[in-house]
Homo-oligomer: A and B are copies of this chain.
Amino acid sequence: MKTTPVTTRASRRTTNDDTAASRSEERALKLWVVLARAYGAVARHVEEDVARHGLTGAEFGILEALYHKGTLRLGEIQQKVLVTSGGITYLVDRLATKGLVERRECPEDRRVRYAALTAGGEALMRRIFPEHARAVAGALSGLGAAEQAEATALLRTLGLAAAEMPAAGAR
């Protein structure tokens, strides 16, 4: 998912035509650039924050999910953290060896595995989440309250639409 576009406004060879389609595409490219850059810049701060506790961004994402939602199936975690199915197995393994998460079986459907915070994981999150929230707020402090609300609304519709879109085979 390492993707960072670099197109800029003052580019050497942008298309010269001025059709509605090309203007629309340029607008989209510009948005994609700033979206990726903003995400990257904010993610850097967030990663630095969780690294202070010896955690990876992805690890913290899992802990956060379990902290807020309680026990979850591995598949559910996968959707939230946006990682391959092999990825969560690896990550949950690591969190388990750190003693922060434990696996549980599902009596109804024995194919599924649950993950849940251990007492230690729970305690850790209770201890570090507040300062994590402050760190995130700091990283996003470039926007005021009203602007943050606007941005949230726009990004929500953007993200939902993109997530529902057919997987590129439809062209």
Binding site for B on A (CB under 8 A): 1-8, 11-15, 24-32, 34-49, 52, 56-58, 60-61, 64-65, 67-70, 80-83, 130, 133-143, 145, 147-152, 154-163, 165, 167-168, 171
Complex Cα–Cα for A108 and B42 (A): 36
Q: What is the chain B residue whose CB lies nearest that of A154? A: B151
Q: Which residue among A25, A136, A148, A158 has the maximum number of chain B CB atoms within 10 Å of its CB?
A: A158
Q: How far is the CA of A57 from the CA of B152 in the complex (A)?
A: 26
Q: Which residues of B contact A159 (CB under 8 A)?
A: 34, 37-38, 40-42, 142
Q: What is the CB-to-nearest-CB distance from A141 to chain B, in angstroms, rounded to a whole number?
A: 7
- Residue pair A82, B167 in contact (C-beta under 8 Å): no
- Check if B152 sits within 8 Å of A31, measured CB to CB: yes
Q: Which of A2, A7, A12, A148 has the most CB of B within 10 A?
A: A2
B residues in contact with A168, CB < 8 Å: 45, 48-49, 52, 135
Q: Is the CB of B165 within 8 A of A45?
A: yes
Distance between Cα atoms of A57 and B136 in the complex (Å): 26
Smallest CB-CB separation from A13: which chain B residue? B68
**Neighbour of A140 across the interface among B39, B143, B156, B162, CB < 8 A:** B162
